[in-house]
Structure 1
Amino acid sequence: MTARRILVTSALPYANGPIHIGHLVEYIQTDIWVRFQKLIGNRCVYVCADDTHGTAIMIRARNEGRSEEELIAAMQAAHERDFAGFDIEFDNYGSTNAAENRELCGQFWQALRGAGLIVERDVEQLFDPVAQTFLADRFVRGTCPKCKSPNQPGDNCSACGQTYSPSELIDPQSTLSGATPELRSAKHLFVQLQQLHDFLSEWVENSGALQSETANYLKGHFLSDELRDWDISRPAPYFGFEIPDSPGNYWYVWFDAPIGYIASTAQWCAAHGEQLADWWQSDATEIHHFIGKDITYFHTLFWPGMLKTAGYSLPTKVRIHGFLNVGGQKMSKSIGTLITAEKYLEHLDPSYLRYFYATKLTPRVEDLDLGIDEFADKVNSDLVGKVVNLASRTAKFAHALGLSETYPDDGGLFANAAAAGERIAAAYEACDYSRAMRLIMELADAANPFIEHAQPWVLKKDPAREAELRDVCTIGLNLFRQLCVYLSPVLPRLAERCGELLGDPITRWAQSQQPLTGRSVQKFTHMLTRVKPEDLQKMIDENRDQAAASQADTPDAGTAEDRWNDSGQPLADEPLAEEITIDDFAKVDLRIARVVAAEQVPEARKLLKLTLSLGGEERRQVFAGIKAAYEPDQLVGRLVVMVANLKPRQMKFGLSEGMVAAAGPGGPDVFVITVDEGAQPGQRVH
């Protein structure tokens, strides 16, 4: 089988703050995939860089009394330290402020100019006359033009949810200097993305690069209408690259950041005697981007348009993940759940977080939740209780005896686990790490009863049974090693310790297919310790206390509202309906229903066909507009809330006999309402 040539990127971390455990979802996800590709023999290069430009960097450097270059150098060192602490290995880690990136930005710019995609336009924006800079929305505060609440930010009111431009604020004030900003006009340069509409529609629809829910979202929210021009420049002062043919204007950070992928690759190529064209302008190379769902728009419309225009390869896959919640809530400094990578490493083994994320990550765009008890249970039950347990119960005896010269009869355990390797590999390839971990733990569940039944600690007491003891240890350690091979993309440290124990470093997936025999075993040393929920709680408490101390001088520090920081935007987008009476509400019969079947409606852009059970033989067919957010198999078995007495509606696809309750603006951001455990189909919602 010919080895694949694969280039992998993660989104560039911004050089304005530390890495936290929410960021690490992406980098751990990517690192696992890269390690797997290398393990099975593919040529895989993983590049990344610090995203270093923009107003925020300029302002922070100014406030700290140092140059932007000094600031971004310090942040990059901290980022690389934290990534290394979590065993995330880049083949090259660069910076968007590098000379290679400036040169490539110029190439892309000339291509866009040559294609007639650049247009110039005057834009009015607030300007700070003291700080001598144009102000982004977050650097302006004032009184809301609608509800008159004071001290509101420059884009939307936290009191009433109204959205507005900064220039509409009453008595606006710059947060940089306290000065009253002035409305000034400045020239901006735009990319006319609409000219690429046909190409982007075709790419989104047919390239296979996107998850289905992402493609449906783009088609429904952007490509169904005319694409807006993209403001690609910012006027001075600005920390970034000045546009060569437009003095006083700088490329916006979102222009040079993705080009940083190519610049980082160029640095790697220069260090390894490679040609950049072989990696970014060759059909023989696969390009895989790993990103969070918040930057989907940039990577699936702007970026492909730029690549196509400049003559570079388009992404083979854009792999998009959801966000991290902690204990069911958005991460928050005030309650201690916005945990930095540095703080985590002070308390816990990075292997624990790598494994926990792996158990949660699927190919779909789904948020992850880190619960304290679940975290501890997965580590203790799976890693300590199942995997390491195989070694800890056998290695101390094998150290004195060595492994048997031939592999003993184990009732088919090793052979069955070897056969499972293909399914595990397919799950890794698809980024379905959750499935891969389940398959691996099934093998561990099969292996442990063998050791429990054989009782090597009992065999040790009888010298006449030494050969039997050696055979049992040989089986136990080979099953342990097999699990370590399968887990090595997720747990490289455990794989390394396994290699040291058995004198055979884990470097190839194929090592899972052949047992080790006739060799010595090193002295067993502790590999993983159990984690206590109180260890995690201590970390959270320390984080919360530090956040409270650092925010003590701010009026909102530690308030209950800060715990959730819910936006007023959804309510502003869809204001409350007219008041109704309790009698009006009673007319709507809301019932608990179970989804017993779900299927695609190929000819419908937004609909899934659901069969709902209200208990007993009562079934309802409902067409729900949730196609962009859910795959059918995600819904089967769920308890949902349905409007059970809605008049049936004949649609072209069939009869819809009710409605499923859901929230959200639509597309991939729609959320089916579920209910707590214990509710039963047919029960009324009061």
Structure 2
Amino acid sequence: MRKIIATSALPYANGSIHLGHLVEYIQTDIWVRYQRLVGNEIHYICADDTHGTPIMLRAEKEGISPEQLVENVHKEHSADFSDFNISFDNFYSTNSIENKNLSEALYKSLVGNNKIEAKEIEQFYDDKKNMFLPDRFIKGTCPKCKANDQYGDSCESCGTTYSPTDLIDAYSVLTGSKPVKKKTEHYFFKLSECESFLSEWTQSDTLQKEALNKLQEWFKAGLADWDISRDAPYFGFEIPGAPGKYFYVWLDAPIGYMASFKNYADKNNLSYDEFWNKDSTTELVHFIGKDILYFHALFWPATLKYSGHRTPSKIYAHGFLTVNGEKMSKSRGTFITARSYIDAFKTPDYLRYYYFSKLNDSMGDIDLSLDDFIVKVNSDLIGKLVNIPSRTSGFVTKFFDNKIMLTTYFNESESQILVNNILLSKDEVTRLFEARQFSKICRLLISHVESVNEFVNNKEPWILAKDDAHKMKDSYLHEVCSAALQSFRLLSIYLSPIMPDLTKKIASFFNQEEFSSIDNLLSDVTTIKNYEHLLKRVEQKDVDIMVESNKNN
């Protein structure tokens, strides 16, 4: 049995969860649920990322404390994740005593290993606001690719990281004024001294090929030391021994993975050190967006290494979400919040299935075509998957007292082949789950669903039911319907990590509490309940309501 910590990137506590965020959380959750299904010990850890100037300024605007703001947002995020069946074992906050203690401890270890250096630097200062400007409150033209309106820490167009003072035609996001340069002392992590370690670490099959290629570009350009401090006023943790200086949010945010696990481990009698000490034999798997690869594949492993901790086992980066082929837009209503989706459709399974059908192991972007969303959900789930029990279970209820035949009693080779083909897919399904090749699993399983429907079409149970000879127990009608239903049950087990709401209903239909294991697929299921409608069709009006509710919000 493997022991794994899995994480999704920490959502920033400065706004609502939207469908772009959910690409990552749904992808991670499917992989985590698969690991549970095969019996591995996995702990899914996350937290709200709560520090930084944006939080401080939003709280000031709303007339509340930063602590109250992040508490309010945490409740909202927790409700959204719960309603999308994101099965965190612990969803915590980086504004915690565990994170404060761990951040200070890691920093002191880095100081002890001579990896921290104080330097006097020039930084942008907004005279109108009377404060040093954090990276995200400075915009300008990228010094490398010349893309306009890029933030002061990294370019969203080419991925380059830089100092805010390197921006061309920089301006303050807060006031629009041209910032002035002022000298201040900051603390730097000596990333430039870590290249040898990082080069070796990245060769250990930790990263996707695309991510590794990107890192090679950064190595070639040369690694710069990393500014890990910010000046007051700042909402965060003050650096020990440096009054008025605070840890940059990107230092304490990933430490939030450790802090969330520490909080969880202490409450559940788990060994924190077993998972985080430098000799740990457990796995640490991060799911992230490709836009934060630099932080997770360079700063984070180097910080862990030189503070005496284990490094990540895998970092899986994904691409962005477009809607209808374009960047999400508030004016078009395609910057869609998680809450507006749930309000419109009531279940997360439609979106979870749609993302599942699109996702793979690459860093490529995926598109949510709202027209395709309607067609795919209605075709695959309504027209094909739940069509199987709706067409066959009624005969079992009417003629066979809700009892289905075990596959060992099938007499016809076609019935046996139908079920066996699905059983024999288990190794391929598990291999593809592990590799995050979700779209391939989707195609494989839907092909089986289509085979079951074709089997039912060819056997025509509605015709067989007209012959009294087929209304007897263990008759051909009984076998046909049982083969279809047993196949449906097996496919639902494979699909349980993707659509937990639907498959829990299906498990109940087979008089089971839930599908919790992929072992012993042919259990002694002998009865079904009376069939009740499992899913409703997606209607255009529901999509329209969702889009309209997001326009200009």
Alignment partner for residue 421 of structure 1, among 422, 426, 429?
426
AA at the equivalent of 2:300:
W
2:237 counterpart SS class: coil
2:306 counterpart SS class: helix
AA at the equivalent of 2:186:
H
1:507 counterpart SS class: coil
1:160-180 CA distance string (max 9 Å, x none): xxx99679998x986546888
1:401-442 CA distance string (max 9 Å, x none): 222454324141111110111101100000000111111111
Once the two structures are superposed, the pairs formed by residues 245-324 of structure 1 within 5 Å of their partners are 245-281=241-277, 282-324=279-321
AA at the equivalent of 1:299:
H
1:6 counterpart SS class: strand
Contact 1:6 1:45 in 2 (8 A): yes
1:532 Cα deviation after fit: 3.1
Alignment partner for residue 438 of structure 1, among 434, 439, 443?
443
1:516 Cα deviation after fit: 4.2
CA distance in 2, matches of 1:64, 1:110: 36
1:155 Cα deviation after fit: 5.7
Query: Larger % of strand: which?
Result: 1
AA at the equivalent of 2:267:
A
AA at the equivalent of 2:304:
L
1:447 is the counterpart of 2:455: no
Give the corresponding residue for 1:235: 231
1:494 is the counterpart of 2:502: yes
1:531 is the counterpart of 2:518: no
Alignment partner for residue 384 of structure 1, among 363, 382, 385?
382
Alignment partner for residue 83 of structure 2, among 71, 85, 88?
85
1:493 Cα deviation after fit: 1.1
AA at the equivalent of 1:443:
H
**Using a 3 Å threshold, how does the CA distance of structure 1 residues 522 and 306 change in structure 2: closer, same or farther?**
same
1:290 counterpart SS class: strand
Contact 1:137 1:153 in 2 (8 A): no
1:218 counterpart SS class: helix
1:118 is the counterpart of 2:116: yes
AA at the equivalent of 2:480:
V
Once the two structures are superposed, the pairs formed by residues 4-23 of structure 1 within 5 Å of their partners are 4-23=2-21
Give the corresponding residue for 1:402: 402
Which moved further from structure 2: 532-541 or 52-61?
532-541
Give the corresponding residue for 2:95: 97
1:524 Cα deviation after fit: 1.4
Give the corresponding residue for 2:515: 507
**Using a 3 Å threshold, how does the CA distance of structure 1 residues 139 and 473 change in structure 2: closer, same or farther?**
same
**Using a 3 Å threshold, how does the CA distance of structure 1 residues 411 and 182 change in structure 2: closer, same or farther?**
closer
Contact 1:390 1:480 in 2 (8 A): yes
User: RMSD across aligned C-alpha pairs, in angstroms?
Assistant: 2.6
CA distance in 2, matches of 1:419, 1:536: 38
AA at the equivalent of 1:392:
S
CA distance in 1, matches of 2:511, 2:95: 44
**Using a 3 Å threshold, how does the CA distance of structure 1 residues 511 and 176 change in structure 2: closer, same or farther?**
same
**Using a 3 Å threshold, how does the CA distance of structure 1 residues 434 and 178 change in structure 2: closer, same or farther?**
closer
Q: How many residues align?
A: 530
AA at the equivalent of 1:215:
L
1:659-678 CA distance string (max 9 Å, x none): xxxxxxxxxxxxxxxxxxxx
Larger radius of gyration: 1
Unaligned runs of 5+ in 2: 154-161
Contact 1:204 1:215 in 2 (8 A): yes
1:527 counterpart SS class: coil
CA distance in 2, matches of 1:327, 1:20: 15
2:106 counterpart SS class: helix
Contact 1:4 1:43 in 2 (8 A): yes
AA at the equivalent of 1:418:
L
1:471 Cα deviation after fit: 2.4
CA distance in 2, matches of 1:165, 1:473: 67
1:214 is the counterpart of 2:211: yes
Give the corresponding residue for 1:617: none
Alignment partner for residue 107 of structure 2, among 106, 109, 112?
109
**Using a 3 Å threshold, how does the CA distance of structure 1 residues 104 and 130 change in structure 2: closer, same or farther?**
same
AA at the equivalent of 1:63:
K
1:373 is the counterpart of 2:353: no
CA distance in 2, matches of 1:117, 1:417: 55
Contact 1:127 1:181 in 2 (8 A): yes
% identical equivalent positions: 43
AA at the equivalent of 2:213:
N
1:542 is the counterpart of 2:549: yes
CA distance in 2, matches of 1:278, 1:421: 32
CA distance in 1, matches of 2:303, 2:152: 28
Give the corresponding residue for 1:667: none
AA at the equivalent of 2:264:
W
Contact 1:395 1:523 in 2 (8 A): yes
CA distance in 2, matches of 1:275, 1:415: 42
CA distance in 2, matches of 1:153, 1:439: 42
Normalised to the residue count of structure 2, the TM-score between the two structures is 0.90
Give the corresponding residue for 2:59: 61
Query: Larger % of helix: which?
Result: 2
1:484 Cα deviation after fit: 0.5
- Greater RCO, CA 8 A, separation 6+: 2
Once the two structures are superposed, the pairs formed by residues 328-339 of structure 1 within 5 Å of their partners are 328-339=325-336
CA distance in 2, matches of 1:57, 1:80: 18
2:47 counterpart SS class: strand
AA at the equivalent of 2:483:
I
Once the two structures are superposed, the pairs formed by residues 443-482 of structure 1 within 5 Å of their partners are 443-467=448-472, 468=475, 469-482=477-490
Give the corresponding residue for 1:484: 492
1:275-332 CA distance string (max 9 Å, x none): 1011112532111000000000000010010111112111111011000011111111
**Using a 3 Å threshold, how does the CA distance of structure 1 residues 132 and 537 change in structure 2: closer, same or farther?**
same
